[in-house]
Protein backbone atom coordinates (compact mmCIF):
# COMPACT_ATOMS: atom_id res chain seq x y z
CA UNK A 1 0.00 0.00 0.00
CA UNK A 2 2.79 2.42 0.78
CA UNK A 3 4.32 1.75 -2.63
CA UNK A 4 0.98 2.17 -4.40
CA UNK A 5 0.35 5.41 -2.54
CA UNK A 6 3.77 6.78 -3.52
CA UNK A 7 3.33 5.58 -7.09
CA UNK A 8 -0.04 7.30 -7.44
CA UNK A 9 1.27 10.51 -5.86
CA UNK A 10 4.17 10.65 -8.31
CA UNK A 11 1.83 9.89 -11.22
CA UNK A 12 -0.41 12.78 -10.22
CA UNK A 13 2.55 15.13 -9.91
CA UNK A 14 4.41 14.05 -13.03
CA UNK A 15 2.58 11.57 -15.27
CA UNK A 16 5.57 11.28 -17.62
CA UNK A 17 8.11 10.51 -14.92
CA UNK A 18 10.36 7.64 -16.09
CA UNK A 19 10.31 6.11 -12.61
CA UNK A 20 6.69 5.17 -13.14
CA UNK A 21 7.47 2.62 -15.82
CA UNK A 22 10.93 1.41 -14.88
CA UNK A 23 10.23 -1.18 -12.21
CA UNK A 24 6.83 -2.70 -12.27
CA UNK A 25 6.26 -6.29 -13.39
CA UNK A 26 3.47 -8.63 -12.40
CA UNK A 27 5.76 -10.77 -10.23
CA UNK A 28 7.75 -7.95 -8.67
CA UNK A 29 7.16 -7.08 -5.02
CA UNK A 30 8.29 -3.61 -3.89
CA UNK A 31 10.93 -3.42 -1.20
CA UNK A 32 11.42 -0.63 1.33
CA UNK A 33 14.24 0.90 -0.78
CA UNK A 34 11.91 1.08 -3.78
CA UNK A 35 9.43 3.09 -1.70
CA UNK A 36 12.26 5.24 -0.38
CA UNK A 37 13.43 5.94 -3.97
CA UNK A 38 9.92 6.85 -5.06
CA UNK A 39 9.52 9.20 -2.08
CA UNK A 40 12.80 10.86 -2.95
CA UNK A 41 11.63 11.32 -6.52
CA UNK A 42 8.31 12.77 -5.30
CA UNK A 43 10.18 15.25 -3.10
CA UNK A 44 12.47 16.21 -6.00
CA UNK A 45 9.63 16.68 -8.48
CA UNK A 46 7.51 18.49 -5.91
CA UNK A 47 10.23 21.01 -5.12
CA UNK A 48 10.81 21.68 -8.83
CA UNK A 49 7.24 22.23 -10.02
CA UNK A 50 5.50 25.60 -9.58
CA UNK A 51 3.03 25.14 -6.76
CA UNK A 52 0.15 26.83 -8.60
CA UNK A 53 0.33 24.19 -11.33
CA UNK A 54 -0.03 21.32 -8.87
CA UNK A 55 -3.37 19.72 -7.97
CA UNK A 56 -4.61 21.64 -4.92
CA UNK A 57 -4.36 18.64 -2.64
CA UNK A 58 -0.71 18.05 -3.50
CA UNK A 59 0.56 21.60 -3.06
CA UNK A 60 1.89 20.83 0.38
CA UNK A 61 3.08 17.38 1.35
CA UNK A 62 3.92 16.21 4.85
CA UNK A 63 6.13 13.37 5.96
CA UNK A 64 3.89 10.88 7.77
CA UNK A 65 5.32 8.23 10.09
CA UNK A 66 2.95 5.24 9.93
CA UNK A 67 4.91 3.92 12.93
CA UNK A 68 4.62 7.10 15.05
CA UNK A 69 7.75 8.57 16.56
CA UNK A 70 6.05 8.72 19.97
CA UNK A 71 6.57 4.97 20.11
CA UNK A 72 9.95 4.85 18.42
CA UNK A 73 11.60 3.14 21.36
CA UNK A 74 9.04 0.37 21.37
CA UNK A 75 9.12 -0.03 17.58
CA UNK A 76 12.92 -0.12 17.50
CA UNK A 77 12.90 -2.73 20.23
CA UNK A 78 10.59 -4.81 18.04
CA UNK A 79 13.02 -4.48 15.14
CA UNK A 80 11.11 -1.76 13.29
CA UNK A 81 12.79 1.50 12.30
CA UNK A 82 10.01 4.13 11.97
CA UNK A 83 12.10 6.22 9.58
CA UNK A 84 12.11 3.33 7.09
CA UNK A 85 8.33 3.53 6.72
CA UNK A 86 7.74 7.23 6.07
CA UNK A 87 5.21 8.39 3.47
CA UNK A 88 4.54 11.70 1.76
CA UNK A 89 0.90 12.62 2.23
CA UNK A 90 -1.19 15.73 1.54
CA UNK A 91 -0.99 18.08 4.51
CA UNK A 92 -4.79 18.31 4.70
CA UNK A 93 -5.27 14.57 5.07
CA UNK A 94 -2.31 14.40 7.40
CA UNK A 95 -3.19 16.95 10.06
CA UNK A 96 -5.76 19.54 9.00
CA UNK A 97 -9.00 18.06 7.66
CA UNK A 98 -11.60 16.46 9.92
CA UNK A 99 -11.00 12.75 9.50
CA UNK A 100 -7.31 13.33 8.75
CA UNK A 101 -4.71 10.97 10.12
CA UNK A 102 -3.91 13.11 13.16
CA UNK A 103 -7.29 14.77 13.68
CA UNK A 104 -10.47 13.53 15.29
CA UNK A 105 -11.13 11.27 18.26
CA UNK A 106 -9.74 8.13 16.66
CA UNK A 107 -6.52 9.61 15.34
CA UNK A 108 -3.53 7.62 14.17
CA UNK A 109 -1.42 7.84 17.32
CA UNK A 110 -4.36 7.00 19.55
CA UNK A 111 -4.95 3.87 17.53
CA UNK A 112 -1.35 2.86 18.14
CA UNK A 113 -1.62 3.83 21.81
CA UNK A 114 -4.54 1.46 22.24
CA UNK A 115 -2.86 -1.24 20.19
CA UNK A 116 0.21 -1.15 22.46
CA UNK A 117 -1.92 -1.12 25.62
CA UNK A 118 -4.04 -3.99 24.37
CA UNK A 119 -1.46 -6.15 22.64
CA UNK A 120 1.17 -5.95 25.33
CA UNK A 121 4.08 -7.70 23.68
CA UNK A 122 3.39 -7.76 19.94
CA UNK A 123 5.90 -9.17 17.51
CA UNK A 124 7.39 -7.27 14.59
CA UNK A 125 5.31 -9.42 12.27
CA UNK A 126 2.05 -8.59 14.03
CA UNK A 127 2.84 -4.88 14.27
CA UNK A 128 3.41 -4.71 10.50
CA UNK A 129 0.20 -6.65 9.97
CA UNK A 130 -1.61 -4.17 12.22
CA UNK A 131 -0.19 -1.25 10.23
CA UNK A 132 -1.52 -2.82 7.06
CA UNK A 133 -4.99 -3.16 8.64
CA UNK A 134 -4.89 0.49 9.75
CA UNK A 135 -3.87 1.68 6.30
CA UNK A 136 -6.67 -0.26 4.63
CA UNK A 137 -9.13 1.74 6.73
CA UNK A 138 -7.96 5.09 5.32
CA UNK A 139 -10.55 6.01 2.69
CA UNK A 140 -8.23 8.19 0.57
CA UNK A 141 -5.40 5.66 0.53
CA UNK A 142 -6.69 3.08 -1.89
CA UNK A 143 -4.51 0.06 -2.60
CA UNK B 1 -19.44 -7.76 46.83
CA UNK B 2 -18.96 -4.85 44.44
CA UNK B 3 -20.15 -5.83 41.01
CA UNK B 4 -19.25 -2.75 39.06
CA UNK B 5 -15.79 -2.16 37.65
CA UNK B 6 -14.17 0.68 35.76
CA UNK B 7 -11.43 1.06 33.19
CA UNK B 8 -9.05 3.97 33.86
CA UNK B 9 -8.01 5.93 30.82
CA UNK B 10 -6.44 9.23 29.76
CA UNK B 11 -8.80 12.05 28.79
CA UNK B 12 -8.80 12.80 25.06
CA UNK B 13 -7.18 16.22 25.29
CA UNK B 14 -4.45 15.47 27.83
CA UNK B 15 -0.97 15.47 26.28
CA UNK B 16 0.89 12.23 26.97
CA UNK B 17 4.32 11.82 28.45
CA UNK B 18 7.08 10.15 26.47
CA UNK B 19 9.58 7.69 27.84
CA UNK B 20 13.13 9.04 27.79
CA UNK B 21 16.14 6.88 27.00
CA UNK B 22 14.43 3.55 27.47
CA UNK B 23 15.97 0.21 26.68
CA UNK B 24 14.05 -3.02 26.49
CA UNK B 25 14.97 -6.63 26.95
CA UNK B 26 15.12 -8.21 23.49
CA UNK B 27 13.28 -11.47 22.96
CA UNK B 28 14.33 -13.42 19.89
CA UNK B 29 12.99 -16.75 18.74
CA UNK B 30 15.33 -19.53 17.60
CA UNK B 31 12.74 -20.80 15.12
CA UNK B 32 10.82 -17.78 13.87
CA UNK B 33 12.42 -14.39 13.11
CA UNK B 34 9.00 -12.70 13.13
CA UNK B 35 8.61 -13.47 16.83
CA UNK B 36 11.22 -10.88 17.74
CA UNK B 37 9.76 -8.54 20.31
CA UNK B 38 10.51 -6.29 23.25
CA UNK B 39 10.28 -7.68 26.75
CA UNK B 40 10.69 -5.86 30.01
CA UNK B 41 11.87 -2.25 30.05
CA UNK B 42 15.34 -2.06 31.59
CA UNK B 43 16.44 0.53 34.11
CA UNK B 44 14.54 3.22 35.97
CA UNK B 45 11.74 5.06 34.25
CA UNK B 46 12.29 8.65 33.17
CA UNK B 47 9.78 10.64 31.15
CA UNK B 48 9.37 13.94 29.34
CA UNK B 49 6.01 15.56 29.90
CA UNK B 50 4.52 18.85 28.79
CA UNK B 51 3.14 20.93 31.73
CA UNK B 52 -0.38 20.60 30.22
CA UNK B 53 -0.05 16.83 30.47
CA UNK B 54 1.10 16.80 34.10
CA UNK B 55 -2.03 16.14 36.17
CA UNK B 56 -2.95 13.94 39.12
CA UNK B 57 -2.86 11.09 36.64
CA UNK B 58 -0.29 11.57 33.89
CA UNK B 59 -0.31 9.11 31.04
CA UNK B 60 2.56 7.73 29.05
CA UNK B 61 1.94 6.69 25.44
CA UNK B 62 0.99 3.04 25.49
CA UNK B 63 -1.46 3.26 28.38
CA UNK B 64 0.87 3.39 31.39
CA UNK B 65 -0.01 5.73 34.25
CA UNK B 66 1.94 7.99 36.57
CA UNK B 67 0.39 9.46 39.70
CA UNK B 68 1.05 12.66 41.60
CA UNK B 69 2.03 12.98 45.26
CA UNK B 70 -1.55 14.12 45.91
CA UNK B 71 -2.97 10.87 44.53
CA UNK B 72 -0.47 8.86 46.53
CA UNK B 73 -1.61 10.66 49.69
CA UNK B 74 -5.26 10.08 48.79
CA UNK B 75 -4.62 6.39 48.22
CA UNK B 76 -2.99 6.27 51.64
CA UNK B 77 -5.84 8.18 53.28
CA UNK B 78 -8.53 5.88 51.86
CA UNK B 79 -6.54 2.64 52.16
CA UNK B 80 -6.59 1.99 48.42
CA UNK B 81 -5.24 -1.46 47.60
CA UNK B 82 -3.71 -3.21 44.60
CA UNK B 83 -0.75 -1.05 43.68
CA UNK B 84 2.84 -0.09 44.33
CA UNK B 85 4.28 3.32 43.51
CA UNK B 86 7.80 3.83 42.26
CA UNK B 87 9.43 7.26 41.87
CA UNK B 88 9.99 8.41 38.31
CA UNK B 89 12.43 10.97 36.93
CA UNK B 90 10.31 13.64 35.28
CA UNK B 91 11.49 16.28 32.82
CA UNK B 92 9.69 19.12 31.13
CA UNK B 93 10.66 19.98 27.54
CA UNK B 94 13.93 21.95 27.50
CA UNK B 95 12.37 25.36 26.86
CA UNK B 96 10.32 25.21 30.07
CA UNK B 97 12.15 26.50 33.10
CA UNK B 98 10.14 25.63 36.27
CA UNK B 99 10.90 22.21 37.71
CA UNK B 100 8.35 19.48 36.97
CA UNK B 101 6.21 17.99 39.75
CA UNK B 102 7.06 14.79 41.57
CA UNK B 103 5.49 11.70 39.97
CA UNK B 104 5.29 8.00 40.67
CA UNK B 105 4.87 5.05 38.36
CA UNK B 106 1.64 3.22 39.15
CA UNK B 107 2.43 -0.49 39.28
CA UNK B 108 -0.84 -2.38 39.55
CA UNK B 109 -0.55 -5.50 41.69
CA UNK B 110 -4.24 -6.26 42.22
CA UNK B 111 -5.57 -9.30 40.45
CA UNK B 112 -8.85 -9.37 38.56
CA UNK B 113 -8.30 -12.95 37.53
CA UNK B 114 -8.04 -14.72 34.24
CA UNK B 115 -10.73 -13.45 31.88
CA UNK B 116 -14.23 -14.73 32.61
CA UNK B 117 -15.39 -17.78 30.63
CA UNK B 118 -18.10 -15.50 29.18
CA UNK B 119 -15.37 -13.45 27.49
CA UNK B 120 -14.58 -16.46 25.30
CA UNK B 121 -10.80 -16.17 25.33
CA UNK B 122 -8.91 -18.62 23.12
CA UNK B 123 -5.22 -19.19 22.46
CA UNK B 124 -4.70 -18.59 18.74
CA UNK B 125 -0.92 -18.67 18.51
CA UNK B 126 1.66 -20.41 20.64
CA UNK B 127 5.36 -20.84 20.05
CA UNK B 128 7.06 -23.45 22.26
CA UNK B 129 10.50 -22.10 21.31
CA UNK B 130 10.11 -18.52 22.57
CA UNK B 131 6.88 -18.90 24.55
CA UNK B 132 5.09 -16.30 22.44
CA UNK B 133 1.35 -16.50 23.02
CA UNK B 134 -1.48 -14.68 21.38
CA UNK B 135 -5.06 -14.78 22.56
CA UNK B 136 -8.34 -13.73 20.94
CA UNK B 137 -11.10 -12.27 23.09
CA UNK B 138 -14.53 -12.97 21.64
CA UNK B 139 -16.51 -10.76 24.01
CA UNK B 140 -14.33 -8.14 25.76
CA UNK B 141 -17.38 -6.51 27.38
CA UNK B 142 -17.65 -9.58 29.61
CA UNK B 143 -13.97 -9.69 30.53
CA UNK B 144 -14.21 -9.57 34.30
CA UNK B 145 -15.23 -12.50 36.44
CA UNK B 146 -16.23 -10.95 39.81
CA UNK B 147 -15.59 -14.32 41.49
CA UNK B 148 -11.95 -14.29 40.33
CA UNK B 149 -11.28 -10.73 41.50
CA UNK B 150 -9.12 -10.52 44.64
CA UNK B 151 -10.97 -7.46 45.95
CA UNK B 152 -8.18 -4.96 45.19
CA UNK B 153 -9.18 -1.43 44.28
CA UNK B 154 -6.75 -1.40 41.37
CA UNK B 155 -6.31 -4.55 39.31
CA UNK B 156 -5.49 -6.09 35.97
CA UNK B 157 -7.25 -8.88 34.12
CA UNK B 158 -5.38 -11.46 32.06
CA UNK B 159 -4.68 -11.41 29.10
CA UNK B 160 -4.99 -7.59 29.03
CA UNK B 161 -2.44 -6.51 31.64
CA UNK B 162 -1.90 -3.18 29.90
CA UNK B 163 -5.35 -1.97 30.98
CA UNK B 164 -5.91 -0.63 34.49
CA UNK B 165 -9.21 -1.43 36.17
CA UNK B 166 -10.65 0.08 39.35
CA UNK B 167 -13.26 -1.00 41.86
CA UNK B 168 -16.48 0.94 42.27
CA UNK B 169 -15.21 2.12 45.66
CA UNK B 170 -12.09 3.64 44.11
CA UNK B 171 -14.09 5.20 41.27
CA UNK B 172 -16.23 6.97 43.88
CA UNK B 173 -13.12 8.23 45.69
CA UNK B 174 -11.57 9.53 42.47
CA UNK B 175 -14.77 11.38 41.58
CA UNK B 176 -15.31 12.74 45.09
CA UNK B 177 -11.74 14.03 45.33
CA UNK B 178 -11.91 15.45 41.78
CA UNK B 179 -8.75 13.69 40.73
CA UNK B 180 -7.59 15.12 37.40
CA UNK B 181 -6.21 13.47 34.27
CA UNK B 182 -8.61 10.58 34.33
CA UNK B 183 -11.54 9.12 32.45
CA UNK B 184 -13.59 6.31 34.01
CA UNK B 185 -15.16 3.90 31.55
CA UNK B 186 -17.58 1.19 32.79
CA UNK B 187 -15.80 -2.14 32.24
CA UNK B 188 -18.53 -3.48 29.91
CA UNK B 189 -17.89 -0.45 27.66
CA UNK B 190 -14.23 -1.34 27.19
CA UNK B 191 -12.94 -0.22 23.75
CA UNK B 192 -11.31 -3.55 22.87
CA UNK B 193 -13.17 -4.86 19.81
CA UNK B 194 -14.94 -8.21 19.72
CA UNK B 195 -12.40 -10.78 18.58
CA UNK B 196 -9.54 -8.42 19.49
CA UNK B 197 -6.19 -10.03 20.21
CA UNK B 198 -3.62 -9.73 22.96
CA UNK B 199 -0.10 -11.03 23.41
CA UNK B 200 0.47 -10.16 27.06
CA UNK B 201 4.00 -11.52 27.44
CA UNK B 202 5.25 -12.16 30.92
CA UNK B 203 3.44 -11.04 34.05
CA UNK B 204 6.85 -10.00 35.40
CA UNK B 205 6.93 -7.25 32.81
CA UNK B 206 3.90 -5.71 34.46
CA UNK B 207 4.37 -6.02 38.19
CA UNK B 208 7.02 -6.59 40.83
CA UNK B 209 8.68 -9.97 40.40
CA UNK B 210 7.58 -11.44 43.73
CA UNK B 211 3.91 -10.68 43.10
CA UNK B 212 4.12 -11.89 39.52
CA UNK B 213 5.62 -15.22 40.64
CA UNK B 214 2.98 -15.63 43.31
CA UNK B 215 0.14 -15.10 40.83
CA UNK B 216 1.78 -17.31 38.24
CA UNK B 217 2.19 -20.19 40.68
CA UNK B 218 -1.35 -19.85 41.95
CA UNK B 219 -3.21 -19.37 38.69
CA UNK B 220 -0.88 -20.74 36.00
CA UNK B 221 -0.96 -17.38 34.24
CA UNK B 222 2.03 -17.89 31.96
CA UNK B 223 0.70 -21.17 30.57
CA UNK B 224 -2.97 -20.30 30.45
CA UNK B 225 -4.74 -22.34 27.75
CA UNK B 226 -1.43 -23.70 26.45
CA UNK B 227 -1.97 -27.32 25.33
CA UNK B 228 -0.14 -29.88 27.48
CA UNK B 229 2.32 -31.92 25.47
Determine the structural domain holding residue B66 and report its residue range.
5-221
Which residues in chain B come in under a pLDDT of 70? 1-3, 229
A26 pLDDT higher than 70: no
Q: What is the pLDDT of residue A27?
A: 62
B182 domain residue, yes or no? yes
Q: Say how many domains are in chain B.
A: 1
Q: What does the DSSP 8-state code read for residue A94?
A: I
User: Could you tell me which residue, A25 or A9, shows the higher pLDDT?
Assistant: A9
Nearest neighbour of B36 by CB, restricted to A70, A109, A123: A123
Whether residue B24 and residue A77 make contact (CB cut-off 8 A), yes or no, is yes
Whether residue B160 and residue A74 make contact (CB cut-off 8 A), yes or no, is no
Interface of B with A (CB under 8 A): 12, 16, 18-19, 22-24, 26-27, 34-39, 61-63, 132, 134, 159-163, 191-192, 196-202, 205
Nearest neighbour of B12 by CB, restricted to A77, A105, A122: A105
Strand partners, B17: B60
Pairing of strands B103-108, B133-137: unpaired
User: Could you tell me which residue, B118 or A50, shows the higher pLDDT?
Assistant: B118
Residue A71: closest CA among chain B residues belongs to which residue?
B61
Residue A68: closest CA among chain B residues belongs to which residue?
B61
Q: Which residues of A touch B197 (CB under 8 A)?
A: 118-119, 126
Q: Which residues of B touch A120 (CB under 8 A)?
A: 159-162, 198-201, 205
Nearest by Cα to B113 from B9, B185, B218: B218
User: Could you tell me which residue, B113 or A135, shows the higher pLDDT?
Assistant: B113
B229 domain residue, yes or no? no
Q: What is the pLDDT of residue A61?
A: 83
B58 domain residue, yes or no? yes
pLDDT-based confidence at A140, cuts 50/70/90?
A: confident
Q: Which residues of A6-15 are buried (b: 16+ CB within 10 A; e: fewer)?
A: bbebbeebbe
Q: Are A141 and A57 in contact (CB under 8 A)?
A: no
A65 pLDDT higher than 70: yes
B23 domain residue, yes or no? yes
Q: What is the pLDDT of residue B2?
A: 46
Pairing of strands B83-91, B103-108: antiparallel
Residue B16: closest CA among chain A residues belongs to which residue?
A70
What value does the mean pLDDT of chain B take? Answer: 93
First-residue to last-residue Cα distance in chain B: 39
B228 domain residue, yes or no? no
User: Could you tell me which residue, B51 or A95, shows the higher pLDDT?
Assistant: B51
Q: What is the pLDDT of residue A131?
A: 92
Whether residue A78 and residue B205 make contact (CB cut-off 8 A), yes or no, is no
B148 domain residue, yes or no? yes
Q: Which residues of B touch A77 (CB under 8 A)?
A: 23-24, 26, 37-38
A115 pLDDT higher than 50: yes
Distance from CA of B227 to the nearest CA of A (A): 21
Amino acid sequence: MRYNHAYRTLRELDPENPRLSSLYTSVWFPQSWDIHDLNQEIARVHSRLPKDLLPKELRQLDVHHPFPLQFKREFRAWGIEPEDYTMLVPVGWHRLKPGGLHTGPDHWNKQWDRYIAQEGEPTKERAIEHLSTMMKQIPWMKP
Amino acid sequence: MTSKFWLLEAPENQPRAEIRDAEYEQITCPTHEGHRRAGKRLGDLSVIVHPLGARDFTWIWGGRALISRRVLNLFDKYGVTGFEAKPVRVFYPEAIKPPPPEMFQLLVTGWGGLAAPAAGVSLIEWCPACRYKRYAIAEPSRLIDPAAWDGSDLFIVWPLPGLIFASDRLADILRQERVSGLKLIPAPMIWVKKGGTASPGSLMRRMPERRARELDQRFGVSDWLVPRS
